Amino acid sequence: MKLRWIFVYSLVMSSVVANVSFEGISQVDVKGAVQLYLQKQDRSMSSEQLGVVIDRVGSKLMIKTDFSSNKPVKVAIFAKDAFANLQHLNVHGSSSVYSSNIKPGSLHVYSDSSGSIQLTQVSNVARIESEGSGSIEAYWITSPHLELVISNGKVKVGGQVQRLFMTGSGKSKVDASGVVAESAWISAKDESFLKVRATNFISMEGSQDALVESYRDAKFVNEVTRDGSALIHVRG
Protein backbone atom coordinates (compact mmCIF):
# COMPACT_ATOMS: atom_id res chain seq x y z
CA MET A 1 0.00 0.00 0.00
CA LYS A 2 2.81 2.47 0.91
CA LEU A 3 4.61 1.68 -2.32
CA ARG A 4 1.44 2.54 -4.18
CA TRP A 5 1.27 6.02 -2.65
CA ILE A 6 5.01 6.56 -3.18
CA PHE A 7 4.28 5.89 -6.82
CA VAL A 8 1.47 8.46 -6.76
CA TYR A 9 3.81 11.16 -5.48
CA SER A 10 6.44 10.30 -8.05
CA LEU A 11 3.69 10.57 -10.66
CA VAL A 12 2.90 14.09 -9.43
CA MET A 13 6.51 15.12 -10.01
CA SER A 14 6.86 13.63 -13.46
CA SER A 15 3.71 13.76 -15.54
CA VAL A 16 1.18 15.87 -17.38
CA VAL A 17 -1.12 18.08 -15.31
CA ALA A 18 -4.75 18.55 -16.45
CA ASN A 19 -6.34 21.98 -16.36
CA VAL A 20 -9.49 20.95 -14.49
CA SER A 21 -10.81 22.05 -11.10
CA PHE A 22 -11.36 19.21 -8.64
CA GLU A 23 -13.39 20.86 -5.93
CA GLY A 24 -17.15 20.42 -5.50
CA ILE A 25 -17.27 17.17 -7.46
CA SER A 26 -20.43 15.10 -6.87
CA GLN A 27 -19.82 12.24 -9.30
CA VAL A 28 -16.76 10.48 -10.67
CA ASP A 29 -17.07 8.14 -13.66
CA VAL A 30 -14.07 6.01 -14.53
CA LYS A 31 -13.95 4.10 -17.83
CA GLY A 32 -11.45 2.05 -19.79
CA ALA A 33 -8.26 0.92 -18.06
CA VAL A 34 -7.64 3.71 -15.59
CA GLN A 35 -5.89 3.27 -12.27
CA LEU A 36 -7.26 6.18 -10.30
CA TYR A 37 -5.93 7.52 -7.00
CA LEU A 38 -8.11 9.95 -5.04
CA GLN A 39 -6.72 11.83 -2.06
CA LYS A 40 -7.02 15.03 -0.07
CA GLN A 41 -4.22 17.57 -0.42
CA ASP A 42 -3.72 21.22 0.38
CA ARG A 43 -3.79 22.06 -3.33
CA SER A 44 -6.36 20.64 -5.78
CA MET A 45 -4.60 19.15 -8.77
CA SER A 46 -4.25 16.08 -10.94
CA SER A 47 -1.40 14.17 -12.38
CA GLU A 48 -1.72 11.60 -15.08
CA GLN A 49 0.24 9.56 -17.55
CA LEU A 50 -0.27 10.01 -21.29
CA GLY A 51 -3.30 8.24 -22.78
CA VAL A 52 -6.01 9.45 -20.41
CA VAL A 53 -8.82 11.97 -20.87
CA ILE A 54 -10.17 13.97 -17.93
CA ASP A 55 -13.38 15.98 -18.44
CA ARG A 56 -15.50 17.89 -16.01
CA VAL A 57 -19.14 18.67 -16.86
CA GLY A 58 -20.86 20.57 -14.07
CA SER A 59 -20.03 18.66 -10.91
CA LYS A 60 -19.35 15.40 -12.79
CA LEU A 61 -15.85 14.25 -13.48
CA MET A 62 -15.18 11.73 -16.25
CA ILE A 63 -11.88 9.94 -16.52
CA LYS A 64 -11.19 7.49 -19.32
CA THR A 65 -8.35 6.04 -21.32
CA ASP A 66 -8.14 7.22 -24.91
CA PHE A 67 -8.05 4.92 -27.91
CA SER A 68 -4.26 4.93 -28.13
CA SER A 69 -3.84 3.32 -24.73
CA ASN A 70 -3.99 -0.44 -24.26
CA LYS A 71 -2.14 -0.57 -20.96
CA PRO A 72 -3.50 0.62 -17.60
CA VAL A 73 -2.97 4.35 -17.21
CA LYS A 74 -2.34 5.86 -13.79
CA VAL A 75 -4.11 9.03 -12.69
CA ALA A 76 -3.86 10.80 -9.34
CA ILE A 77 -6.39 13.43 -8.31
CA PHE A 78 -6.00 15.57 -5.23
CA ALA A 79 -8.80 17.75 -3.91
CA LYS A 80 -8.52 20.42 -1.27
CA ASP A 81 -12.10 19.72 -0.09
CA ALA A 82 -11.36 15.99 0.38
CA PHE A 83 -14.19 15.23 -2.10
CA ALA A 84 -16.73 16.41 0.46
CA ASN A 85 -19.53 16.58 -2.15
CA LEU A 86 -18.80 13.25 -3.79
CA GLN A 87 -21.95 11.09 -3.89
CA HIS A 88 -21.39 8.69 -6.78
CA LEU A 89 -18.30 6.76 -7.78
CA ASN A 90 -18.92 4.68 -10.92
CA VAL A 91 -16.20 2.35 -12.15
CA HIS A 92 -16.33 0.56 -15.51
CA GLY A 93 -14.18 -1.49 -17.89
CA SER A 94 -11.06 -2.78 -16.19
CA SER A 95 -10.47 0.36 -14.15
CA SER A 96 -9.39 0.43 -10.53
CA VAL A 97 -9.80 3.09 -7.85
CA TYR A 98 -7.69 3.55 -4.72
CA SER A 99 -8.63 6.15 -2.20
CA SER A 100 -7.59 7.00 1.32
CA ASN A 101 -8.93 9.46 3.84
CA ILE A 102 -11.41 11.29 1.64
CA LYS A 103 -14.58 12.69 3.28
CA PRO A 104 -17.57 12.28 0.98
CA GLY A 105 -21.03 13.11 2.35
CA SER A 106 -22.87 9.90 1.52
CA LEU A 107 -21.14 7.81 -1.08
CA HIS A 108 -22.71 5.36 -3.53
CA VAL A 109 -20.19 3.09 -5.25
CA TYR A 110 -21.11 1.25 -8.44
CA SER A 111 -18.79 -1.10 -10.28
CA ASP A 112 -19.07 -3.36 -13.28
CA SER A 113 -15.31 -3.36 -13.59
CA SER A 114 -12.92 -6.26 -13.53
CA GLY A 115 -10.48 -4.11 -11.57
CA SER A 116 -10.34 -3.44 -7.87
CA ILE A 117 -11.64 -0.65 -5.66
CA GLN A 118 -10.03 0.11 -2.29
CA LEU A 119 -11.47 2.76 -0.02
CA THR A 120 -9.58 3.11 3.24
CA GLN A 121 -10.52 5.56 6.00
CA VAL A 122 -13.68 6.43 4.06
CA SER A 123 -16.51 6.47 6.56
CA ASN A 124 -19.63 7.63 4.75
CA VAL A 125 -20.23 4.83 2.30
CA ALA A 126 -23.99 4.31 2.03
CA ARG A 127 -24.26 1.86 -0.87
CA ILE A 128 -22.03 -0.50 -2.81
CA GLU A 129 -23.29 -2.16 -5.95
CA SER A 130 -21.07 -4.64 -7.76
CA GLU A 131 -21.86 -6.27 -11.09
CA GLY A 132 -18.29 -6.73 -12.26
CA SER A 133 -15.88 -9.55 -11.63
CA GLY A 134 -13.48 -7.33 -9.70
CA SER A 135 -13.07 -6.78 -6.00
CA ILE A 136 -14.16 -3.99 -3.66
CA GLU A 137 -12.81 -3.24 -0.19
CA ALA A 138 -14.10 -0.44 2.03
CA TYR A 139 -13.06 0.47 5.60
CA TRP A 140 -14.15 1.90 8.12
CA ILE A 141 -17.72 2.65 7.36
CA THR A 142 -19.78 4.40 10.04
CA SER A 143 -22.90 5.34 8.04
CA PRO A 144 -26.25 4.77 9.77
CA HIS A 145 -27.30 2.48 6.91
CA LEU A 146 -25.17 0.46 4.52
CA GLU A 147 -26.65 -1.22 1.47
CA LEU A 148 -24.72 -3.89 -0.42
CA VAL A 149 -26.15 -5.10 -3.72
CA ILE A 150 -23.71 -7.65 -5.04
CA SER A 151 -24.32 -9.85 -8.06
CA ASN A 152 -20.72 -10.54 -9.05
CA GLY A 153 -17.19 -10.26 -7.72
CA LYS A 154 -15.83 -10.06 -4.19
CA VAL A 155 -16.67 -7.44 -1.62
CA LYS A 156 -15.11 -6.95 1.80
CA VAL A 157 -16.26 -4.21 4.17
CA GLY A 158 -15.54 -3.14 7.73
CA GLY A 159 -17.02 -0.66 10.18
CA GLN A 160 -20.04 -0.11 12.36
CA VAL A 161 -23.58 0.59 11.16
CA GLN A 162 -27.09 0.56 12.57
CA ARG A 163 -28.66 -1.29 9.68
CA LEU A 164 -27.04 -3.43 7.04
CA PHE A 165 -28.95 -4.41 3.91
CA MET A 166 -27.32 -7.16 1.87
CA THR A 167 -28.52 -8.56 -1.42
CA GLY A 168 -26.38 -11.34 -2.83
CA SER A 169 -26.86 -13.16 -6.11
CA GLY A 170 -24.89 -14.96 -8.80
CA LYS A 171 -21.55 -16.25 -7.56
CA SER A 172 -20.84 -13.18 -5.48
CA LYS A 173 -18.81 -13.34 -2.29
CA VAL A 174 -19.45 -10.72 0.37
CA ASP A 175 -17.51 -10.56 3.61
CA ALA A 176 -19.31 -8.11 5.89
CA SER A 177 -18.16 -9.86 9.05
CA GLY A 178 -16.01 -6.79 9.71
CA VAL A 179 -19.11 -4.63 9.96
CA VAL A 180 -20.74 -4.65 13.37
CA ALA A 181 -24.41 -4.05 12.57
CA GLU A 182 -27.30 -3.70 15.00
CA SER A 183 -29.62 -5.21 12.41
CA ALA A 184 -28.93 -7.08 9.20
CA TRP A 185 -31.50 -7.73 6.49
CA ILE A 186 -30.26 -10.26 3.99
CA SER A 187 -31.67 -11.47 0.72
CA ALA A 188 -29.52 -14.14 -0.87
CA LYS A 189 -30.00 -16.38 -3.88
CA ASP A 190 -28.10 -18.39 -6.51
CA GLU A 191 -24.66 -19.39 -5.28
CA SER A 192 -23.92 -16.24 -3.32
CA PHE A 193 -21.86 -16.55 -0.14
CA LEU A 194 -22.20 -13.86 2.50
CA LYS A 195 -20.67 -13.26 5.91
CA VAL A 196 -22.38 -11.05 8.47
CA ARG A 197 -22.06 -9.88 12.08
CA ALA A 198 -25.28 -8.57 13.63
CA THR A 199 -25.82 -7.91 17.33
CA ASN A 200 -29.57 -7.49 17.70
CA PHE A 201 -31.49 -8.77 14.69
CA ILE A 202 -30.78 -10.80 11.60
CA SER A 203 -33.25 -11.68 8.89
CA MET A 204 -32.35 -13.93 6.00
CA GLU A 205 -34.51 -14.62 2.99
CA GLY A 206 -32.60 -17.30 1.11
CA SER A 207 -33.16 -19.46 -1.92
CA GLN A 208 -31.28 -21.83 -4.25
CA ASP A 209 -27.76 -22.53 -2.94
CA ALA A 210 -27.13 -19.24 -1.16
CA LEU A 211 -25.15 -19.49 2.06
CA VAL A 212 -24.89 -16.96 4.88
CA GLU A 213 -22.49 -17.24 7.79
CA SER A 214 -23.37 -15.30 10.93
CA TYR A 215 -20.41 -14.47 13.18
CA ARG A 216 -22.29 -13.29 16.23
CA ASP A 217 -25.36 -14.49 18.09
CA ALA A 218 -28.04 -11.94 17.30
CA LYS A 219 -30.81 -11.64 19.90
CA PHE A 220 -33.52 -12.16 17.30
CA VAL A 221 -33.29 -14.29 14.20
CA ASN A 222 -35.72 -14.64 11.34
CA GLU A 223 -34.59 -17.28 8.89
CA VAL A 224 -36.68 -18.00 5.83
CA THR A 225 -34.74 -20.39 3.63
CA ARG A 226 -35.75 -22.53 0.70
CA ASP A 227 -34.03 -25.06 -1.56
CA GLY A 228 -30.43 -25.58 -0.44
CA SER A 229 -29.94 -22.16 1.10
CA ALA A 230 -28.87 -21.87 4.74
CA LEU A 231 -27.96 -19.55 7.56
CA ILE A 232 -25.04 -20.95 9.52
CA HIS A 233 -24.22 -19.61 12.96
CA VAL A 234 -20.46 -19.47 13.41
CA ARG A 235 -19.01 -18.51 16.77
CA GLY A 236 -16.73 -15.58 15.97
Longest dimension (CA), the chain: 58
- 51 backbone φψ class: left, alpha, beta (φ>0; ψ -120 to 50): left
- 49/187 with CB nearer other proteins: 187
- Can you tell me whether residue 9 is helix, strand or coil? helix
For the CB of residue 177, give the shortest distance to other proteins in the complex, in Å. Answer: 20
Are 199 and 217 spatial neighbours (Cβ–Cβ below 8 Å)? no
Given the rule CB under 8 A, which residues bind other proteins?
145, 147, 163, 165, 183, 185, 187, 200-201, 203, 205, 219-224
Smallest distance, Å, CB 214 to other proteins? 14
**Beta carbon of residue 207, minimum distance to other proteins (angstroms, whole number):** 10
C-beta closer to other proteins: residue 9 or 220: 220
Q: What is the DSSP string of 94-137?
A: T-EEEEES---SSEEEEE--SSEEEEES---EEEEEE-SSSEEE
Residue closer to other proteins by CB (options 44, 207) is: 207
Which residue, 87 or 203, is less far from other proteins as judged by CB? 203
Question: Which one, of 112, 109, 92, lies nearest residue 170 by Cα?
Answer: 112
Min CB(60)–other proteins separation in Å: 23
Least distance between other proteins and beta carbon 38 (Å): 27
DSSP-derived pairing of the beta strands 45-48 and 73-79:
antiparallel
Based on CB atoms, which residue is closest to other proteins, 144 or 236? 144
Beta strands 60-65 and 96-100, pairing class: unpaired
